[in-house]
Structure 1
Amino acid sequence: MGYHHRTSSRLGTLPLAFDLPARVGQIFMLQFRRLRRSGRNGRRIKLLLKFALPLLVLYLIDLPIHLYRTRVARPHQDLDQPFATGCLDPSVTAAQPRENATFVMLARNSEIEGAKATVANIERQFNRWFHYPIMFLNDAPWSEEFKDVLSRAVSNGTEVRFEVIEKGKWGFPEEMNEKEKTKARLQMKKQGERGVGYGDMESYHHMCRFYSGEFYNLEALRPYKWYWRLEPSVRYSCALTYDPFAEMARHDKVYGWTIALWEVGDTCPSLFKTTDDYRIEKGIPRTPTWNALLQVMWFPAPVRWFLGLFRVREHDNSGNKWNMCHYWSNFEIANLDFFRGREYQDYFRYLDSKGGFYSERWGDAPVHTLAVHMLLPPEKIHHFSDIGYEHDTLWQCPGNAPMDQQLLGNKALRDMGRMTLPSEGGTGCRCKCQENKRRRNINSQCTSELTRPVAFHRPSWWERHNGVYHYAVNNPNNPRK
């Protein structure tokens, strides 16, 4: 059972913005009284007044400026709403012009059952109406069994492609020599010994680097403008009766996501500082989108500068800390033109030159997140809060819209089966949320942090102070934490 510790000092009741300066002042006054009681009033008190008091004044001037520069301005209205509420008639929406888009799944021949389950699920919930092509990628030749089983898992009219990643796109950078590769393998081995997840798996490092940059340069993807990333053994728990590619294009969005959560710091301790180095080198200004990544430090300016100067892990050049929030990139719907464009590819090549994909375990999820928040304005990013998505033990499942928006008599949806009861404010279409207690609907603290630039309605200061965050997807089984 948890409890809240409350200090007996009146300072403990002050607002957060004044709490730290007040405590610094309290410490100063205590030291001053001790010196006066000791009878050593002379030089020591003068030195204290000469140096400590000006520093305190400078800090009280610096702090508001620092907080202003790192603020996330509140927009005049919510800038990111669901594309649809409840169910639409898929026979109507699927008849509209389609975008130049494809599903993409990276898989191995051994993942045949997981790949089949994902494809069968996405076909049932969406693609049997829209028939977007599905592309499978492998760094090794495909087995005939895999191709046969997955070709039969799709609905009639859905094109399936089996591509082998071309040479130079998977593995170590081509410019690395054998000595550098040996050093990289030793570094990966040490990561495994330290307990870094997948740290000693060379193929996992290759995968992170591939999805961070080389993926977008594949010849097989060149004809397409949009992609929807799939993974083996994931599940979509709601019917999706509109075309997310068309809606992303219509609303001028670039990057779409479902789940945000914390990164494990041991995997990428220098990634945030390296990204901030790139931002400064290229003259990219701080924006509300970038500031949404910050855990603002309240230390005096010289202390903050030293944190940046000495490259303290997960801190930027100003000494602010990354809040560790990132989008879970195993689901993403995005515009390929952004990721294969000059700005993003320059950023990827800069990261690649630093070697962190192997000396550390820089993942594609934080790389995508940092790039999106560095290079895009907030209104270009979309949270698919109406899509039910499950991967491993984490899931997002929205509450269903009212019954009159579920199109109960619609022929195209007649075989969807039972659904979770609607809930107030729900947006989902025929969602069936899991009730397994070992699974959990992802807490939306990171969702709240990363969506602040587009959110007029935000959790109150008191809720954040007490660690109370609303589930952004309004699942009736887990409405709050």
Structure 2
Amino acid sequence: MLIEVCVHIQSFAIRRPATNLDPPFHVGCQNPVMNVAPRANATLVMLARNSDVSGAVHSVKSVQTQFNDHFRYPWVFLNDEKWSAEFMEKVGKAAGEGVNVKFEKIPRAMWGYPEWIDQDKARRKMEEMERRGIMYAGQESYHHMCRFQSGFFYDHPALESYKWYWRVEPDISFTCAITYDPFIEMEKHGKKYGYTIALWERGTTVASLFRKLSDYKARVHIPSTSLWTAMIDPSYLPWPFRRFLSLLRNRDAYGDIWNMCHFWSNFEIADMDFFRSPAYRSLFRYLDEDGGFYYERWGDAPVHSLAAALLLRPEELHHFSDFGYIHANLQYCTHAPTDEARRRGELVPMLEGRGEELGCRCTCDLGIKIVEPVCLNRIKQTVG
């Protein structure tokens, strides 16, 4: 039994490639800004509500200052309700002159309960999850949003002519200047999905999601990639006892467990042809018909993450390690702050006196928690 356990655990070891399959696209500031090439077929996208106007303005100003004032990519704003005049005026002004801005409504067919969902059961489940303290689980609109972001945004009429999208949330900040075109670089290097932050999901929100997807993987015979393996921690129980663990949440049929690592999708730059592919559409339809977007609180972040691990090769993903990024009470810094800087707990320039390094004119706000790199390190093993 001990030998069997050792062999089983060893089967989950990730072999690092001999070379780095995902280096940064550029190092340091690009001077002059690399904005002379033809633009990609791309847009910046924000899903927001009228009440998010202050956060939306903050995010748009950050993106424009750090990137889009030089590149002039269009914006598309999506809402399940009619946009207010205040939102359109203030956000349009923040985007600036010469930038194409569209304010679009989400079609009713893309937002709301599908016909196979028992709405009374769904509302009972939401109330139960809210009593258990599961974040946002009691908000019906949040469930609609997660379903829309998982399976419909890429088919919205305002986006169907675009290939690439950059997702922007209200109340985010970029803390580095972005002096090259990430869309062009993604296209040039054969990348399909880009992220900045990898962290743990709350297991109670997605209790059955991993099991559903691992069963789907087995049913349609999808081979395991090293990225999928990186998302799993092996059970230390010997066969056949570990199969009893499959009855627990976030485990596959063999008793091995999802380590809850996923990409934080409030920032992502992605090829929408990946989401529009038959493989992803089939996967989403399988999940949608199961009902977990309403009977549990499946978020689009774990859905996108596990789908990418299933359907993409590790080298088709890109970590934007040179994009400093803040969302809510978490941030990603391009470099680890010194102990002295941590003690000061202030806004620290990350490249001061250190020569040409990763990122351009980056800062790190030490008053905001820096995401632990455990998940990122685990995932990055797959590319070198």
Q: TM-score range by the shorter chain?
A: over 0.9
CA RMSD in angstroms, aligned pairs only: 1.6
SS at match of 1:390: strand
Instruction: Structure 2: give runs of 5+ residues left out of the alignment.
Output: 337-347
- 1:448 paired with 2:377, answer yes
What is the alpha-carbon distance in structure 2 between the residues aligned to residue 427 and residue 337 of structure 1? 30
Q: What's 1:122 paired with?
A: 63
What is the alpha-carbon distance in structure 1 between the residues aligned to residue 230 and residue 88 of structure 2? 43
Larger strand share, 1 or 2: 2
- 1:147 paired with 2:88, answer yes
Spell out the pairing of 1:2-401 with structure 2 (5 A cutoff): 59-91=1-33, 93-173=34-114, 175-176=115-116, 180-308=118-246, 311-399=247-335
Shift of 1:238: 0.6
Shift of 1:352: 0.8
What is the alpha-carbon distance in structure 1 between the residues aligned to residue 299 and residue 148 of structure 2? 10
Q: Decide whether aligned partners of structure 1 residues 142 and 291 sit closer, same or farther in structure 2, where only a CA change above 3 A counts.
A: same
What is the alpha-carbon distance in structure 2 between the residues aligned to residue 60 and residue 77 of structure 1? 34
Shift of 1:72: 1.6
Q: Which amino acid aligns with 1:244?
A: P
Q: What's 1:39 paired with?
A: none
Contact residue 40 and residue 184 of structure 2 kept, 8 A? yes
Q: What's 1:431 paired with?
A: 362
Shift of 1:435: 2.9
Q: Decide whether aligned partners of structure 1 residues 422 and 182 sit closer, same or farther in structure 2, where only a CA change above 3 A counts.
A: farther
Shift of 1:399: 3.6
What is the alpha-carbon distance in structure 2 between the residues aligned to residue 440 and residue 143 of structure 1? 34
Q: Deviations over 1:86-114 (max 9, x none)?
A: 100254x1111111000000011111111
Q: Which amino acid aligns with 2:149?
A: Y
Q: What's 1:19 paired with?
A: none
Q: Deviations over 1:377-409 (max 9, x none)?
A: 110011001001001111012149xxxxxxxxx
TM-score (norm 2): 0.94
Shift of 1:202: 0.5
Contact residue 199 and residue 264 of structure 2 kept, 8 A? yes
Shift of 1:62: 2.4
Shift of 1:252: 0.2
Contact residue 399 and residue 428 of structure 1 kept, 8 A? no
What is the alpha-carbon distance in structure 1 between the residues aligned to residue 17 and residue 270 of structure 2? 24
Contact residue 27 and residue 356 of structure 2 kept, 8 A? no
What is the alpha-carbon distance in structure 2 between the residues aligned to residue 134 and residue 391 of structure 1? 20
Q: Decide whether aligned partners of structure 1 residues 267 and 193 sit closer, same or farther in structure 2, where only a CA change above 3 A counts.
A: same
Q: Which amino acid aligns with 2:365?
A: Q
Shift of 1:61: 4.2
SS at match of 1:221: coil
SS at match of 1:96: coil
What is the alpha-carbon distance in structure 2 between the residues aligned to residue 226 and residue 112 of structure 1? 25
Q: Deviations over 1:309-331 (max 9, x none)?
A: xx311111121111111111000
What is the alpha-carbon distance in structure 2 between the residues aligned to residue 286 and residue 137 of structure 1? 35
Contact residue 399 and residue 425 of structure 1 kept, 8 A? no
Instruction: Structure 1: give runs of 5+ residues left out of the alignment.
Output: 1-58, 401-417, 456-481
Shift of 1:419: 4.1
Q: Which amino acid aligns with 2:382?
A: P
Contact residue 399 and residue 423 of structure 1 kept, 8 A? no
SS at match of 2:194: strand
What is the alpha-carbon distance in structure 2 between the residues aligned to residue 217 and residue 306 of structure 1? 41
Q: Which amino acid aligns with 1:172?
A: Y
What is the alpha-carbon distance in structure 2 between the residues aligned to residue 152 and residue 446 of structure 1? 38
SS at match of 2:67: helix
Shift of 1:423: 4.1
Shift of 1:210: 0.9
TM-score (norm 1): 0.75
Shift of 1:71: 2.6
Name the count of aligned residue pairs.
372
Q: Which amino acid aligns with 1:430?
A: R
What is the alpha-carbon distance in structure 2 between the residues aligned to residue 328 and residue 76 of structure 1? 28
Contact residue 126 and residue 137 of structure 2 kept, 8 A? yes
What is the alpha-carbon distance in structure 1 between the residues aligned to residue 77 and residue 221 of structure 2? 38
Q: Which amino acid aligns with 1:355?
A: G
Say which structure, 1 or 2, has more relative contact order (CA 8 Å, 6+ apart).
2
Contact residue 121 and residue 236 of structure 1 kept, 8 A? yes
Shift of 1:422: 4.6
